[in-house]
A and B are shown apart, each in its own frame.
Chain A
Amino acid sequence: MKADCGSLIKKVYEASVNYLQILDENGNVDAQLLPKELDDRKIIEMYKFMCLARAMDAKTLSMQRQGRAVTYGPLVGEEATQIGSACAMRKNDFFVPTFRQHGVYIVRGLPLDKFFIYARGFEDGVSKTENVGATPEIVPVSTQLPHAAGIAYAKKFKKEDSAVITYVGDGGTSEGDFYETINFAGLFKVPLVLIIENNQWAISVPRKRQSAAETLAQKAIAGGVPCIQVDGNDVIAVYKATADAISNARNGPTVIECVTYRMSMHTTADDPTKYRSDSEVEAWKPKDPILRVRKYLNRKNLWNDSLEQQMNDQNSKLVDDAVAKAEAFRMDPKAMFENVYSFMPDVLKEEEDEAISSNFWQ
């Protein structure tokens, strides 16, 4: 039977996924793969951005613990994925984040006080993200991905030389909107770069419980979309993969899986010691994305303790000034009512008037 059918069986499709690492955890760079535009100055700049992102992250976490910020999703450990991809974006590119890409906004130039206004729980913190070519952070998982594909469709429609970079977590790749986005993007060949920030944990569920797929990148293949897996703790590899995808965006989308690790909690509302071991976390510490760049820079005599101290002082000041500004921000509850429709419906106006005349807002 088998022999008879053998001649009828032919391979109709075959695929593989490449893995890219350029800067290893000991600070060694693969010189052949190092992008030409990444000179020393540019690498130092990426390093500084990663350190600033970590400083902001630590500050927000402590503010949350003091009741000065709302529930917060820390980025610590994922700086290379965020800063590397953000630094690869061109001015006219656009990005669509999840709720964790705080670091990307920093690179794109969102004023730091805006970040802290959002961290304090006000809409006004994300009300002007379009000024830095972005949508606001978004909380539901994966639902931002079709927006990114639609924005990319519109960029192509308007014949703009612009790519749209969007992010999703490892858990998010299980959602229907993820698959629908890959399918749409592949079909219409829109200029989309979809970055899977695979930090190994979706709250308490590990990567292996999320999918039987060997890599998350390969999920792109079913939609006819090229993909690559990179060391997400290697800022240079993330930069290169993103830059390559952006320069190819006019031909269609790319999916990049960045393999990184969530060093902290999902958000300030959970306790990771309940579901993962300390030894697992310890094992990721030597792979730290910042540490390896410092090793590289030290070895090339581009960095030293005094420069490090100078940078840390500068970051503290930047962060403290932004926090002070954010904490001085006061909202007007009328803004809630006046930004629902392009006009004020009578029914809503009545509710607002009642709140004001009854002094509900004190």
Chain B
Amino acid sequence: MQMNMVSALNNALDLAMHENEKMVILGEDVAKDGGVFRVTDGLLAKYGENRVIDTPLAESSIVGTAIGMAIEGLLPVPELQFAGFMYLAFSQIVNHAARYRSRTRSAITLPMIMRTPVSGGVRTLEHHSESPEVEYAHIGGLIVVEPSNPYDAKGLMISAAHGKDPVVFLEPTKLYRLFKQEVPEDMYEVPFGKANVIKEGNDLTIITYGTMVQVVKNVVEKRNLSAQIVDLRTINPLDEKTIIDSAKKTGKVIVVHEAPLSFGVGAEISARIAEKAMFELDAPIIRVGAPSLPYPFPADEQYYVPNEIKVSKAIDKLLSV
């Protein structure tokens, strides 16, 4: 069935809610309104107000109460309306959601799915366009995923619902309705920690995820490059094997993400390649990301978010070595 990312996520949540009667969705505007992006649309009518909960407008306790629900055996799916507002829940996520398993030696575990829209390009107000993946990926105990297409979005959501760990589920706002794709109506899982080689190639490797996958694909297609494109899908745990194998295969690597360059996922990947495949590289690794500054106001974002020109120039630089 043709689905965009919103309908794929909605379908995944519906199947998971149907399967597990202890699964609950909570957050601001998730019930009657179906979420500001309609990801939870229709679920209130199907599962009732005890399981699809419009909470008070209070992010810390949305995650905090979800942690309590998970302690008591429910499977909570808190929605944080925008990534910029999720910081109010940061203490709960970092100090508690991530740590409960380790601090209790696995006696108390917190399967839960913390969903939030991320990244920009859709001209929204301030604090609606951040790409915060590193802030969560740095925290041991959290799984951090970011799908780039409807198929992966549904499969990762089903994996999260079947898993035993707290998952930070980052949904690129720009991709919510950008395109449709054939998505199976039944349940299927896209496993955590497994990157997707979406195109095989020999001349260079481009490692990316989230919104930048479309940008990279467009450039590679337009220039007809023999590029190996790796879509991480899971940020943490990182699929180091696919990254290293792809780096060795082509000897040339670019990492592309929308988040600011400094201390980003690109830095982590570059370091790992440098440690394990440096002598098989033909050129220095190149990173492409947003400038190292706060996400600007909507009218400026075209100068901020990495675009095809920026990616293409980086490829020129890499191939010229």
Hey, which bits of chain A sit against chain B, CB under 8 A? 96, 123-124, 126-130, 135-136, 138, 140, 143, 145-155, 157-158, 176-177, 180-181, 183-184, 187, 335-336, 338-342, 345-348
Partner of B108, one of A130, A149, A187: A130
- Residue B25 lies at the interface, judged by CB distance under 8 Å to chain A: no
- Residue B74 lies at the interface, judged by CB distance under 8 Å to chain A: yes
Which 10 pairs, one residue from A and one from B, show the smallest C-beta to C-beta distance?
A150-B68, A146-B64, A154-B72, A345-B237, A150-B65, A342-B164, A180-B61, A147-B68, A151-B68, A127-B105
Partner of B241, one of A148, A184, A336, A346: A346
Tell whether, in the assembled complex, residue A340 and residue B108 are in contact, meaning their CB atoms are under 8 Å apart.
no
Chain A residues lying within 8 Å of B238, measured Cβ to Cβ, are 347
In the complex, what distance in Å separates the CA atom of A335 from the CA atom of B58? 35
Tell whether, in the assembled complex, residue B237 and residue A146 are in contact, meaning their CB atoms are under 8 Å apart.
no
Chain B residues lying within 8 Å of A152, measured Cβ to Cβ, are 68
Give A135 Cβ to nearest chain B Cβ, in Å. 6
Tell whether, in the assembled complex, residue B240 and residue A123 are in contact, meaning their CB atoms are under 8 Å apart.
no
Tell whether, in the assembled complex, residue B73 and residue A154 are in contact, meaning their CB atoms are under 8 Å apart.
yes
Which parts of B201-232 form the interface with A (CB within 8 Å)?
none
Which parts of B22-74 form the interface with A (CB within 8 Å)?
24, 50, 55-56, 58, 60-61, 63-74
Partner of B68, one of A148, A180, A338, A340: A148
How many residues on B have C-beta within 8 angstroms of the other chain's C-beta atoms? 45
Contact with A along B88-109 (1 / 0, CB 8 A): 0001100110000111111111
Tell whether, in the assembled complex, residue B164 and residue A146 are in contact, meaning their CB atoms are under 8 Å apart.
no
Chain B residues lying within 8 Å of A339, measured Cβ to Cβ, are 101-102, 104-106
Closest to B104 in A: A127
Chain A residues lying within 8 Å of B294, measured Cβ to Cβ, are none
Give A147 Cβ to nearest chain B Cβ, in Å. 4
Contacts A136-B104, A143-B92, A146-B67 aside, 5 further interface pairs with beta carbons under 8 A come to A123-B103, A135-B108, A154-B68, A339-B106, A346-B237
Closest to B164 in A: A342
Tell whether, in the assembled complex, residue A155 and residue B72 are in contact, meaning their CB atoms are under 8 Å apart.
yes
Closest to A190 in B: B65
Given known A347-B240, A348-B237, contact A146–B193 (CB-CB < 8 A):
no
- Residue B284 lies at the interface, judged by CB distance under 8 Å to chain A: no
In the complex, what distance in Å separates the CA atom of A135 from the CA atom of B108? 9
In the complex, what distance in Å separates the CA atom of A146 from the CA atom of B193? 31
In the complex, what distance in Å separates the CA atom of A187 from the CA atom of B55? 9
Tell whether, in the assembled complex, residue A347 and residue B69 are in contact, meaning their CB atoms are under 8 Å apart.
no
In the complex, what distance in Å separates the CA atom of A194 from the CA atom of B130? 36
Chain A residues lying within 8 Å of B65, measured Cβ to Cβ, are 146-147, 149-150, 153, 184
Tell whether, in the assembled complex, residue A336 and residue B102 are in contact, meaning their CB atoms are under 8 Å apart.
yes
Chain A residues lying within 8 Å of B107, measured Cβ to Cβ, are 127-130
Given known A135-B108, A340-B140, A347-B238, contact A184–B71 (CB-CB < 8 A):
no
Give A145 Cβ to nearest chain B Cβ, in Å. 7
Tell whether, in the assembled complex, residue A340 and residue B102 are in contact, meaning their CB atoms are under 8 Å apart.
yes
Tell whether, in the assembled complex, residue B64 and residue A145 are in contact, meaning their CB atoms are under 8 Å apart.
yes
Chain A residues lying within 8 Å of B108, measured Cβ to Cβ, are 130, 135-136
CB<8 Å pairs between A and B, sample of 28: A123-B104, A123-B105, A124-B105, A127-B105, A128-B107, A129-B104, A130-B108, A135-B71, A140-B95, A143-B96, A147-B67, A147-B71, A149-B68, A150-B64, A150-B69, A150-B70, A151-B68, A151-B69, A151-B71, A152-B68, A157-B69, A158-B73, A184-B61, A339-B105, A341-B237, A345-B193, A346-B193, A347-B238
Contact with A along B149-176 (1 / 0, CB 8 A): 0000000000000011100000000000
